[in-house]
Structure 1
Amino acid sequence: MASVEDDEAYWNETKSKGFNFDDEDEKAGSQLFGVSQAGTSRLSRQLRSAMPNDASGTSLLLSESTLLSESTLSSSSNSVLFSANTSLAPAKPGDGLLSSSGVSDNTIQRIINSDRITELKPRGKLLPDEELQILRRKEQMRWQPPPVEETLRQILLGLPFSLECYHSLDDKKRILDAALEQGNGDAILCVVQFLSKTLKKSHFTHLMSQRPVAANHYAAHLSTRCQWSEFSNLLESLGRSRDVAIKQLGLVIGSIDSPSRLQTLVNCSVSHFSSGSAEMDRPFVLHTIKLLEWQFAATEKFKSLSSGQEAAESIIGKPALDSLAHACRYHWENPKAKNPIPDPLAPSALCQSLGINQRAYQWTALRTKAQEQAWDAVDGLFISRGWFQGIRLIGGSNSIPMADVAAELHAQGAPEEVVVKYINLVDNVEEKISLANRLQCHRAAIDIMKSQGDRLGIIKLKERLPSRSEEQVYAENALKSSSVRWKN
């Protein structure tokens, strides 16, 4: 029986001592988190004395849940954190006093920061008034607007954000100005949309009138979203009725696909371009109406004359000069015809209706007829015959310079004799020679220098020409001419 009792006593006994809060007799070498308990007690006193004062002048309280009470820690002669004669002056992370204990600066800083409480924490049982005060303070902190820089940073990085905390008008102005100064379009648009929903229309309009960049961002957003009613209301409230009228004109023109819908454009000209700042654009609108009428008529006639190419030759909605090119290609007038029947689709009629000037007409007709290689039609644009078959330029000073005409004909692949004809119509001799050389019309350049008696010029040109080429032989024959009176 004794052996059985000894066995039970063996299995029931333990050498580990349980933890007891009332037991203060611990071994001198026991440590807490790697620091002796006595050292922790001294560290607690040191940190208490190192805590700064808050804004109200009262010292910040150390949380009882984070630091151990000094009464629960026994003194230890083996403490390595502080010596017996250590001064209790405030310690800072990085000081030799703390770093010599083996505790890192980051750990010390975390301990200090964890005890810097910013709000009252309920400890134990609270009175109803105290609990109500704490809840009220938390609610106020919840709705207190964060710094605008932090909110804009979250918008820029695509992080969750909220603008609902910005209640006052000053807060809304501040975050809008900060977004404009930052230059982030997404932030500007987010803030402006928030203001449009939370401000009175008069306040919102006043803010937009003082900040045109924000107004332009919001107007572009509304235009992209096809919110035409809000777009018009915004610009009208800002006094930009001309922008509204031009936008409405573009929408109407884009929707016209038949002659029956031209009336909508007429109505638009009456409602938006009859008064105000948009009245100056009324002539343009009237010309647009005339152009569309001409385009519909020309398209119908083209369809009746040719089949299978209607889609490729459609000119509805094209610019005026494209319509003029169409007229030059399909409705060209023959100036040599006797008693020609006036054609309302002819280029001259279109120019008169839309007020297209002489130079624009000549450029368009020149390119069109040069592509068709209709050189006689090109001559009819610039040259007329006077008395004794003399050449007279059409248009005078309003006409295209002959140097430009020669260059365009050369670019379009015109024969050399056609190009030389217009080179000879250039007034300045030096410009004429330079143009002939630039357009590779060397014979024309040799003839011009020969007529001027410029022997040295022909020699210099001859040296640049390919050996035994036709142009070089032509230059040699010109130099051998005995009928020329050379000046050099």
Structure 2
Amino acid sequence: MIRGKPDEDEYWNSSKFKAFTFDDEDDDFTRLKESKRAVNSIRSLVEEEDEEDDVEKVSWSGEPVGSISWSVKETASSIRSTGEVRDQSFPKINTAPSLPKNSSGYSLSSLFKGKAKTGSFQSFSESFGETSIRNYAPELRKPKSEYKDYVSDWTPEETVKRMQQGKVYSLEKFRSLQDKLLLLDEAVNAHDGNVITAVLIYLKKSLSKENLFRELITREIALRHYIHFLKEIEEQKLLVELFKSLDRTEDMALMQYRDHLNIRDENKRRDFLKSCLSLPFSPDDATHVQDHYTLLERQIIIEANDKQVESSGQADIFKKYPRKASILNMPIITTLYYSCFYHYGESDGTYSSPANIRKTFRISDKQFLLTCLGARAKLKAWFDVDALFTTKNWLGYTKKRSPIGFHRIVDILQKNNAPVQVLQEYVNLVEDAEQKISLAQKYKCHDVIINTYRDLKDRQQLIVYRGKVERGSSEYRKIEEILSNSQIRWKN
């Protein structure tokens, strides 16, 4: 019997059979995945089997229970019993993997654990892994006390405390002069220099300098911090105005004098120092500023003259020892050393004379002697060195005297590689016998040691020292002569 088109549509729509699609939920592959999910869902309810357990269950057909082939056959048999009618109309699609019976590496425990025994195959969880789901913990709400961090309505005490704790703070809310002064007083009471400085920086920006200076007069601690802050940032002009408003004229003069450091040109610096002479310095500071001006003025004259002489080649001293640096802006002792090195022996009337510099700047005898000794010893001018210590009495006798100990002079001479004869002369002038022997042994002045032991009439020490000198040398023969002298009354 042939049905018409409408009858066929009605037949198929009313039929319990469904057309085949690739999304069919009853196909073998889908059932296999559902079986896998079922096994994995009960994994947490089953205790893990020992991985080293070699006992394996098998079915009646000899296949291991739980293997892939066994699972596929079990699934296929269940499908076959329920899908015989469908098999008559549609071809069966076999999606089960073809695995040999004896090569299965899976057991029931491996299905639960999700891993193979032999490592040859991936587990079901590895083969058909589902997309992992990331869980996010809900963000906890902050306590109400912390919401105050976002509110700027703080008292001066709370603001200072937050500044000390390193929390967020704002000083802009303190607008009136009274609020700003309360904030400053609270910072001072906290005894925190960083907080005080931070508040002062805000007041410097928000207040006029007249109002700020007036209020700082009665706040000594804040004033000291403010002065230190201005010195650090080198606001000299504002510092001068502050000292002037505080009636601290000496401090104001010193700050104004300090501006000479920013002047590079020597002539302009000299003129600036000259203008500073009229400032209200203390007596000691006024003397210092006067000496500074006089020294720079002389240095300019000496530098110009020596530069010309050196370039013309008129003086041998500049040929033998060329100048390595300019003398401008050098300290007074450096200037004296330069004068003793290049202008020693000049008349007192010249600016470059060591004696003139010594007199003008009131250099002490010790300082002059040490400076001049270092310069002349550097030039190996031993005659000039000797003249520094030689004095004459009213009878015309000469004697060496020094305002410093001769042991220091010996050290200076030795550092400048003085010959042994020169060293021996000054080692002999050391008064203490033990110190004299120690220096003589240190610098190998044999004659000094021999003469000292002779004067001490110490025969035993002289015999011991004879064993330290070379046999047959002049020192050895001298010791022998002294030991054989019968007129010496030895004490041992």
TM category (shorter chain) comes to 0.5 to 0.7
Return the match for 1:252 from 260, 279, 282.
260
Hey, what does 2:378 align to over in structure 1? 371
Hey, what does 1:265 align to over in structure 2? 273
The 1:343/1:269 distance shift into structure 2, 3 A limit, reads closer
How far the C-alpha of 1:454 sits from its partner, in A, is 1.6
Counterpart residue identity of residue 198, structure 2: C
Q: Is the partner of 1:392 in helix, strand or coil?
A: strand
Return the match for 1:439 from 440, 443, 451.
443
The 1:147/1:485 distance shift into structure 2, 3 A limit, reads same
Counterpart residue identity of residue 212, structure 2: K
Hey, what does 2:483 align to over in structure 1? 479
Hey, what does 1:77 align to over in structure 2? none
The 1:372/1:206 distance shift into structure 2, 3 A limit, reads same
The 1:404/1:142 distance shift into structure 2, 3 A limit, reads closer
- Identity rate of aligned residues, in percent? 24
Hey, what does 1:196 align to over in structure 2? 204
The 1:262/1:142 distance shift into structure 2, 3 A limit, reads closer
The 1:325/1:378 distance shift into structure 2, 3 A limit, reads same
The 1:439/1:241 distance shift into structure 2, 3 A limit, reads farther
Taking the TM superposition and a 5 Å limit, the aligned residue runs for 1:144-183 are 144-145=154-155, 146-154=158-166, 161-166=169-174, 168=179, 169-178=181-190, 181-183=191-193
Hey, what does 1:143 align to over in structure 2? 153
How far the C-alpha of 1:387 sits from its partner, in A, is 7.5
Write the distance in 1 (CA, Å) between the matches of 2:375 and 2:413.
Answer: 11
Hey, what does 1:219 align to over in structure 2? 230
Return the match for 1:391 from 398, 418, 422.
398
Counterpart residue identity of residue 356, structure 2: A
Name whichever of 307-316 and 449-458 sits farther off.
Answer: 307-316
Counterpart residue identity of residue 389, structure 2: F
Return the match for 2:429 from 425, 437, 453.
425
Question: Is 2:359 aligned against 1:359?
Answer: no
Question: Is 2:459 aligned against 1:455?
Answer: yes
Deviations 1:88-111 (CA, angstroms, capped at 9, x unpaired): xxxxxxxxxxxxxxxxxx99xx79
Question: Is 2:239 aligned against 1:231?
Answer: yes
The 1:260/1:239 distance shift into structure 2, 3 A limit, reads closer
Write the distance in 2 (CA, Å) between the matches of 1:144 and 1:6.
Answer: 81
Q: Is the partner of 2:297 in helix, strand or coil?
A: helix
Write the distance in 2 (CA, Å) between the matches of 1:469 and 1:149.
Answer: 88
Write the distance in 2 (CA, Å) between the matches of 1:392 and 1:6.
Answer: 146
Write the distance in 2 (CA, Å) between the matches of 1:449 and 1:391.
Answer: 26
Write the distance in 2 (CA, Å) between the matches of 1:154 and 1:331.
Answer: 63
Aligned residues: 344
Deviations 1:404-444 (CA, angstroms, capped at 9, x unpaired): 11221112110111111112222333332333234332331
How far the C-alpha of 1:161 sits from its partner, in A, is 4.3
Name whichever of 325-334 and 368-377 sits farther off.
Answer: 325-334
Deviations 1:61-95 (CA, angstroms, capped at 9, x unpaired): xxxxxxxxxxxxxxxxxxxxxxxxxxxxxxxxxxx
Unmatched 5+ stretches in structure 2: 1-9, 17-136, 313-317
The 1:259/1:233 distance shift into structure 2, 3 A limit, reads closer
Q: Is the partner of 1:344 in helix, strand or coil?
A: coil
Is the CA contact 1:384–1:391 (under 8 Å) kept in the aligned structure 2?
yes
How far the C-alpha of 1:461 sits from its partner, in A, is 4.1
Unmatched 5+ stretches in structure 1: 8-105, 120-137, 335-339
Counterpart residue identity of residue 423, structure 2: V
How far the C-alpha of 1:203 sits from its partner, in A, is 4.9
Hey, what does 2:329 align to over in structure 1? 317
How far the C-alpha of 1:256 sits from its partner, in A, is 6.0
How far the C-alpha of 1:472 sits from its partner, in A, is 6.1
Write the distance in 2 (CA, Å) between the matches of 1:429 and 1:230.
Answer: 63
Write the distance in 1 (CA, Å) between the matches of 2:330 and 2:264.
Answer: 12
Higher radius of gyration, 1 or 2: 2
Q: Is the partner of 2:399 in helix, strand or coil?
A: strand
Q: Is the partner of 1:485 in helix, strand or coil?
A: coil
How far the C-alpha of 1:354 sits from its partner, in A, is 1.0
Is the CA contact 2:152–2:169 (under 8 Å) kept in the aligned structure 1?
no
Deviations 1:183-236 (CA, angstroms, capped at 9, x unpaired): 54xx4432211122345324542365234551343122331xxx2211212333
Write the distance in 2 (CA, Å) between the matches of 1:324 and 1:361.
Answer: 8
Deviations 1:313-346 (CA, angstroms, capped at 9, x unpaired): 3111100011111111111117xxxxx6843321
Is the CA contact 2:203–2:212 (under 8 Å) kept in the aligned structure 1?
no
Write the distance in 2 (CA, Å) between the matches of 1:196 and 1:431.
Answer: 64
Aligned-residue Cα RMSD (Å) equals 3.8
The 1:487/1:202 distance shift into structure 2, 3 A limit, reads same
Write the distance in 2 (CA, Å) between the matches of 1:233 and 1:284.
Answer: 23
Is the CA contact 1:192–1:218 (under 8 Å) kept in the aligned structure 2?
no
